[in-house]
């Protein structure tokens, strides 16, 4: 699958962690957690990479470009995966899109 990343509109979508949701690294378990109301998400390595890039200023496109560089993958494909992941979290009110 290949989409035109520039034309996808993902440059205008800027994900942010809402108030009441926090990403933290737990030293005792040596892993990342996304914490929200009565929720403890244990992201896998890829998901943790995405979440760590969310700062309320980076767009989905920028996040995808960053990850594509890191994993030597197609940015458009990565962007689609990132968007699917973020939509799922947004549906659970764990992220704002």
Partner 1 sequence: MSRAETLNRPASTHPLPPPPMGLLAELTHRCALRCPYCSNPLELDRRDRELPTAVWKRLLDEAAALGILHVYFSGGEPMLRPDIAELVAHARDVGLYTNMITSGVGFQPAALDAVAEAGLDHIQLSIQAMDAETCDRVGGYAGAWQRKHMVAADIARLGLRLTVNAVIHRENAHQTKDFVQLAEDWGAARIEIAHVQYYGWGIVNRARLMPTRQQVERAMADVEEARARTAGRLVIDCVLPDYYARYPKACMGGWGARLMNISPAGVALPCHAAQTIPGLAFDTVQERSLSDIWYHGAAFNAFRGTDWMQEPCRSCARKDLDFGGCRCQAMALAGDASATDPACSLSPLHKQIVALAEAEAASHRSDFIYRGFQGAPKPQAERQMVPLQADRP
Q: What CA–CA distance (Å, rounded) separates 73 from 54?
A: 19
Cα within 13 Å of Cα(28), Cβ side:
0
Judged by beta carbon, residue 43 or residue 75, the one nearer partner 1 is 43
**DSSP code at position 18:** P
Residue ranges in 36-95 that form contacts with partner 1 under rule CB under 8 A:
36-38, 40, 90-93
Which strand (E) or helix (H) includes residue 22?
A: strand 22-26
Query: Total number of residues binding partner 1 (CB under 8 A)?
Result: 19
Contact range with partner 1 by CB under 8 A, out of 22-30, 48-56, 65-73, 75-83 = 22-30
Residues lying near partner 1 in the complex (CB under 8 A): 18-22, 24, 26, 28-29, 33, 35-38, 40, 90-93
């Amino acid at each position: 699958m290949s989409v035109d990343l520039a034309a996808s509109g993902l440059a205008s979508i800027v994900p942010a962690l809402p108030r009441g949701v926090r990403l933290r690294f737990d030293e005792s378990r040596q892993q990342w957690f996304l914490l929200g109301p009565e929720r403890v998400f244990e992201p896998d390595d890829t998901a943790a990479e995405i979440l760590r890039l969310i700062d309320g200023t980076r767009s989905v496109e920028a996040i995808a470009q960053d990850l594509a560089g890191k994993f030597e993958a197609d940015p458009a494909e990565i962007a689609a995966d990132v968007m699917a992941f973020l939509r799922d979290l947004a549906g659970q009110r764990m992220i704002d899109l």
